[in-house]
Every structure is written in C-alpha cells, then in structure tokens.
C-alpha cells in the first residue's frame, strides 16, 4: 500500500511528494505520470470540513526502484494541489499508475529539450534516458523568476549542455564550463544559441534530430512556431 516518505518544497509554489510504492516505481518509464489522492478518512479536518483531495495527475520526476520510491511534483494552484503540503510521512495514500505512453527514446540522436517552469520536472528522467541510450542532449531550462529553479543536479545529469533561461535579471550563473545563461524568454534563448551569440558550445542547434518541449501551452506553441 503506497505511503508518503517525505514532502519537500523546492520552490515557493512547488511541492515534491515522495511516495513508497514499489510496484509503481518498478513500472515507471520516462514521460509517464501518476494520479495521487489522499484517503478521506485520514484527511485532516478544518472548520468542520474534511480536507479530502480530488485525484491529481502529477509528473513522475524520478524513481528509486531499489527502495520503491516515486517522486511526484505538484504545482500549487489552489484546492487539492495545495493540500499536498499537508501530507505526512507514513500516511497511506492512493497512487495510480504509472500511466500514459512513455517518451520514445532513440539511441544515437541529438535531442533538444525545452522545459518551461514545472515542465522541467518531466524532462529530468527523459534527458537521462536519452543519455543512457548514447544520445546527445541540448537542454534549454526556462523560468520566470530566479526562485523558480530547482533540481539543478538532475537537470545537469540530463544534458550534455544546459542553457539556463530566466525572464528576470541578472539570470543564472552556470556551474559547468559547457553551460550557458540567458536573460529573456526561452525561444529568444534558442534563437541566440543557434546564431552563435552564446559562444560555440556543443551540440549545435543544427545537429538536433528532434525537439521535446514541455511547459505551458503558450510556451509549447511558441517553441513549435519557432521551429
């Protein structure tokens, strides 16, 4: 029976809920997601109301198959998503999944990953799977504010080169020599990279075989139009 291991807050409006669910962890493949819900009978009560959650479709950020851990990422938007922060270690929960078609992972390709905000949580495992298959990964990680960035180690592990993008200055300072920083929106950053304005890191934009963009609908539409 799935139980909560820990609840973390990597940014002011994002909560990470780690659940022990061995079967769900064993079956996870990059790009899939889960459905999380608390038990009404175990939910806390406030002003006479049970704080029962509706089922939430959540990103599977990473799994630890040996320990049976599943990490899910929650963007707080009110209602049930805000209740995830009240989950307690050891509390039984309902975890359905993994579900959804996994991302196609092709060996030997050069892949462009474009992540906006919460969408970056989906790309951790996808980028790492591509690299394990022998692919080269160019990763544009975009955020509105500096406080929105999280899981730096996971993003670096998912990419040969990361371009850190932020709408607000002064932007991010890369930790690796091959990585770059850009102040502005993520599509502008891709254009600047392709034009050589950020230096000549590898891989080149022209070498990319496919694009995987995950973020808001507006960001993905802009990335599609720019392509």
Residues near 57 by beta carbon (within 8 Å), at least 6 away in sequence: 33, 34, 35
Mean residue pLDDT across the chain: 92
Coil, strand or helix: which one is 3?
strand
Residue 68 region by backbone torsions, left for phi larger than 0, else alpha for psi between -120 and 50, else beta? left
In the numeric block, which tokens belong to residue 132?
């394990």
Whether 160 and 184 have beta carbons less than 8 Å apart is answered as no
180-207 residue pLDDT tens: 999 999 999 999 999 888 888 789 888 9
Residues near 67 by beta carbon (within 8 Å), at least 6 away in sequence: 20, 25
89-132 residue pLDDT tens: 999 999 999 999 999 998 989 999 999 888 888 898 899 999 99
Whether 25 and 70 have beta carbons less than 8 Å apart is answered as yes
**Model pTM?**
0.88
Percent of the chain with pLDDT over 90: 67
């Amino acid at each position: 029976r799935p139980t909560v291991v820990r609840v973390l807050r990597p940014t002011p409006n994002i909560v990470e809920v780690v659940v022990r669910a061995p079967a769900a962890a064993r079956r996870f493949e990059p790009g899939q997601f889960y459905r999380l819900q608390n038990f009404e009978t175990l939910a806390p009560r406030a002003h006479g109301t049970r704080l029962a959650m509706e089922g939430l479709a959540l990103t599977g950020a990473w799994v630890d198959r040996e320990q049976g851990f599943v990490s899910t990422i929650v963007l707080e938007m009110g209602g049930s998503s805000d209740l995830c922060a009240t989950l307690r270690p050891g509390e039984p929960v309902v975890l359905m999944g993994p579900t959804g078609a996994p991302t196609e992972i092709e060996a030997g390709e050069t892949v462009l990953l474009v992540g906006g905000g919460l969408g970056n949580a989906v790309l951790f495992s996808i980028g790492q799977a591509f690299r394990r298959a022998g692919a080269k990964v160019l990763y544009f990680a975009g955020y509105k504010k500096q406080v929105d960035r999280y899981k730096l180690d996971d993003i670096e592990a998912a990419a040969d080169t990361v371009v850190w993008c932020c709408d607000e200055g002064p932007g991010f300072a890369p930790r690796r020599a091959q990585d770059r920083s850009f102040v502005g929106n993520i599509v502008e950053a891709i254009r600047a990279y392709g034009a050589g304005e950020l230096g000549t890191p590898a891989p080149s934009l022209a070498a990319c075989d496919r694009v995987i963009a995950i973020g808001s609908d507006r960001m993905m539409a802009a990335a599609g139009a720019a392509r």
